[in-house]
């Protein structure tokens, strides 16, 4: 049975997506780019977990869920299978000053669709999964008309 994870592709007014860099101390996927998200707690739905994680990892509040980008299965570098549901969202808060969780993330970037090659850094670890899903998030963003 896979572990359940929820992720958020947070979009700004310029149609860029928020990514944060995992610290070298992280047990899972250290020194890689990531979206906001994490494991579901007992009794949580993916939507509830995503909203909680957005607040915990950035200090922002989800204002609008634009779409579900998709559901993906992968095995973490810890060998455990995961099923992740990713959402495309808008948030309320100061988008230039996220409150990154101490010890978990060291930097952040807002990327346009043309800047996704930055995520190639992850390819040795995730086989290009984050970049592929990020492309799908941008396609989804265009289809919701924003």
DSSP reduced 3-state for 116: helix
Q: What CATH number has the domain bearing residue 96?
A: 3.90.79.10
> Domain containing 129: what range?
3-143
What pLDDT, on the 0 to 100 scale, is given for residue 137?
98
Phi, psi of 35, deg, nearest 5: -95, 170
Alpha helix positions (H), the chain: 46-58, 123-126, 129-143
Yes or no: say if 91 and 58 are a contact pair by the CB < 8 Å rule: yes
**pTM for the whole structure:** 0.95
**pLDDT score at 146:** 55
> Which of helix, strand or coil describes residue 96?
coil
Residue 28, H or E segment? none
Q: How far apart are the first and last CA of the chain?
A: 36
- C-alpha dist (Å) from residue 106 to 20, 100, 118: 7, 7, 16
Q: How far apart are CA 62 and CA 74, in angstroms?
A: 26
Structurally, how many domains does the chain consist of?
1
Q: How far apart are CA 121 and CA 31, in angstroms?
A: 9
Three-state SS for 120?
Answer: helix
- What integer pLDDT is reported at residue 28 of this predicted model? 86
Q: Walk along the chain (146 residues) and give the pLDDT tens digit of each residue.
A: 899 999 999 999 999 999 999 999 998 889 999 999 999 999 999 999 999 999 999 999 999 999 999 999 999 888 999 999 999 999 999 999 999 988 999 999 999 999 999 999 999 989 999 999 999 999 999 999 65
pLDDT score recorded for residue 53: 97
Q: Give the gyration radius of the chain's Cα atoms.
A: 14
Categorise residue 58: left if φ over 0, alpha if ψ from -120 to 50, beta otherwise: alpha
**What is the pLDDT at residue 145?**
65
């Amino acid at each position: 049975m896979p572990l359940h994870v929820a992720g958020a592709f947070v979009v700004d007014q310029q149609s860029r997506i928020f990514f944060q860099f995992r610290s070298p101390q992280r047990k899972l996927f250290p020194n890689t780019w990531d979206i906001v998200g994490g494991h579901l707690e007992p009794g949580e739905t993916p939507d509830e977990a995503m909203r909680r994680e957005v607040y915990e990892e950035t200090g922002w509040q989800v204002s609008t869920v634009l779409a579900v980008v998709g559901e993906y299965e992968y095995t973490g570098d810890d060998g455990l299978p995961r099923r992740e549901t990713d959402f495309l969202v808008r948030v309320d808060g100061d988008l230039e000053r996220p409150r990154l969780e101490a010890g978990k993330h060291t930097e952040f970037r807002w990327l346009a669709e043309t800047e996704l090659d930055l995520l190639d850094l992850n390819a040795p670890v995730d086989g290009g999964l984050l970049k592929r899903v990020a492309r799908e998030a941008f396609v989804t963003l265009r289809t919701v008309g924003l």
